[in-house]
Structure 1
Amino acid sequence: MSAVEAAARALVGTRFRLHGRDPAHGLDCVGLVAAATGRGAPTGYGWRSGDAGRVAALLDAAFARGGDAPGAVLLLRAGPGQLHLAIRVSDGIVHADAGLRRVVWRSGVPPWPVLGYWKGEG
């Protein structure tokens, strides 16, 4: 198991908090990726614009492009004009679920279109 996958799994159950960057206080999807990968995360962003190119450029600046493998960072289109991040694990994804108000594990393939993959490690 990769270090990023292990870190993401350890965060399952963490409270959801919009713009959250500290697991002790809560995480959103950006905070989850930052905590699992050990990288910094932007603040004051607006992802509901749906500008996947802008978000992909931010991810390109922090991570190398990769494939669908455990530990990968996924950029997803969660709805019209709404982007989302998740971490790929061997049997599904880990993501910050605003509706369930916590970080969750979801089995199988993501329920949303995948717009890109980045290597969470390296």
Structure 2
Amino acid sequence: MTRAERVVEAARGAVGSPFRLHGRDPVRGLDCVGLAAWALRGGGVLAEIPQGYALRSGDATRACRWMAAAGLVPGERPVPGDVLLLRPGPGQLHLAIVTDDGIVHADASARRVVERPGEVPWPLIGCWRLRERGEEYGDAGSDGGG
């Protein structure tokens, strides 16, 4: 199983978990950052998880720095296992995990982690992915550990 497949498996394993702002555990609850961190852990990444953000922070630069610090590299087009940075509304950022037929994300409106099939309904700011062991991406960062 590839690292990307393990990321998707971990994200899907969290479907049904309650939504909780700053949540980091599927049993007690996850927000989109917690879900991304949980899924990336499934792929072998043990990165520091951002703290102290608001539901509507809008700081895309900070989010991009976290992706790089986690050892992720930018992708041109989303593929399963990628972490998407989305803009669902003014001043609002959202993370989601790409699956083979949609995304898994922590849905604040539904109050739980859900899998949403089809096209992503929000503007895409960027996508990041784990490197598979042995892949070379120049100076894009470490392989994320694990």
Flag the structure with larger Rg: 2
Deviations 1:21-59 (A, max 9, x none): 011100000000011111341121236231212221221
2:7 matched to which residue of 1? 4
Residue 34 of structure 1: aligned partner: 37
Matched, 1:23 2:11: no
TM-score (norm 1): 0.92
Distance 1:120 1:16 in 2: 25
Number of positions where the alignment pairs a residue of Structure 1 with one of Structure 2: 122
- 1:56 pairs with 2:70: no
Q: Structure 2: state its 5+ residue gaps.
A: 133-146
Q: TM-score, normalised by structure 2?
A: 0.78
Q: Which runs of 5+ in 1 are unaligned?
A: none
The aligned residue for residue 43 of structure 1 is: 51
The whole-number CA distance in structure 1 between the counterparts of 2:38 and 2:130 is: 11
Looking at secondary structure, tell me which structure has more strand per residue: 1
2:74 to 53, 65, 68: 65
Question: What RMSD over aligned residues (CA atoms) do the two structures have, in Å?
Answer: 1.5
